[in-house]
Amino acid sequence: MKLWDELNAEIVSCEKCPRLVAYRQRVAAEKKREFRSWDYWGKPITGFGDRNAKILLVGLAPAAHGGNRTGRIFTGDSSAQTLMRALHAVGLASQPFSLHRDDGLKLSGVYLTAVCRCAPPENKPTPEEIRNCLPYLVRELELLREAKVVVALGQIAFGGTLKALEELARQRGVEWQILKPRPKFAHGAHYQIPDPRGGTLQLLASYHPSRQNTQTGRLTLQMLVDVLSRAKSLADL
């Protein structure tokens, strides 16, 4: 509990990326017309969910008017809507929506996080910003000992997850070799890789449930449900 509290306190007060600090604060001050009565969060967001989770879901970053407004990851935007419908469909979320921090949402068996904790302009963090933020994911992996299935939502999250695992192995001083050739992102891809914490880790990939992907039909709800069902079965849930 103490380690979680320390980690989350560090995350919400982080100012390592000047561009993102300026952007998150500007968005919070200017607001979107439809949310003008909101008191925007305007800070980095922590992970959210079951701390004994067997499945870790890794996203990209909070949306300017989603997590950056509501203060909870995957909350209040269209990505959240799609993800929560899918998580609820497979029995990992208590409700098929994620609207605000007090909406009663409970996740069971799954923890949500991201490779970048601040809303980036155009949803595009720079490689340096992702590097700055990666230590938080490494620490979450240390704390989420039960999580042996990781679902990376999108290519950037997939690459960030592999880098976090490499860093975790380096910190633990363990020899760690991922499959050769290096795992590549593709929707529905599944890799069984050595876990630097011991044992084996199941790494699954899905397209990110962004509005762009869902509106173009690149990712349908059923495609996401299929990946999450697979994750659930791999986690013996």
According to the binding rule CB under 6 A, does residue 117 interact with ligand SF4?
yes
CB of residue 20 to ligand SF4, shortest distance in Å? 5
Count of beta carbons in the 10 Å neighbourhood of residue 217: 8
CA distance 99 to 80: 8
Binding-site string for ligand SF4 from residue 21 to residue 60, where x marks contact by CB under 6 A and - marks none: x----------------------x----------------
Alpha-helical segments (H) within 40-109:
67-70, 78-89
Which residues does 188 contact at the CB level (< 8 Å), separation at least 6?
204, 205, 206, 223, 226, 227
Instruction: Select from 60, 21, 22 the least CA-distant residue to 207.
Output: 60
Binding-site string for ligand SF4 from residue 85 to residue 104, where x marks contact by CB under 6 A and - marks none: --------------------
Q: Which stretch in 16-24, 67-75, 199-207, 218-226 sits in contact with ligand SF4 by CB under 6 A?
A: 16-24
CB of residue 117 to ligand SF4, shortest distance in Å? 4
According to the binding rule CB under 6 A, does residue 203 interact with ligand SF4?
no
CB of residue 29 to ligand SF4, shortest distance in Å? 17
CB of residue 14 to ligand SF4, shortest distance in Å? 3
Q: Which is nearer to ligand SF4, 17 or 110 (CB)?
A: 17
Name the strands in the sheet holding 190-194, side by side, starting at the edge strand that comes first in the sequence.
Answer: 48-49, 110-114, 55-59, 149-153, 200-206, 190-194
CA distance 195 to 172: 11
According to the binding rule CB under 6 A, does residue 17 interact with ligand SF4?
yes
Q: Which is nearer to ligand SF4, 60 or 235 (CB)?
A: 60
According to the binding rule CB under 6 A, does residue 140 interact with ligand SF4?
no
CA distance 125 to 131: 10
CA distance 56 to 65: 24
State the residues that interact with ligand SF4 by CB under 6 A.
11, 14-17, 20-21, 44, 116-118, 129, 132-133
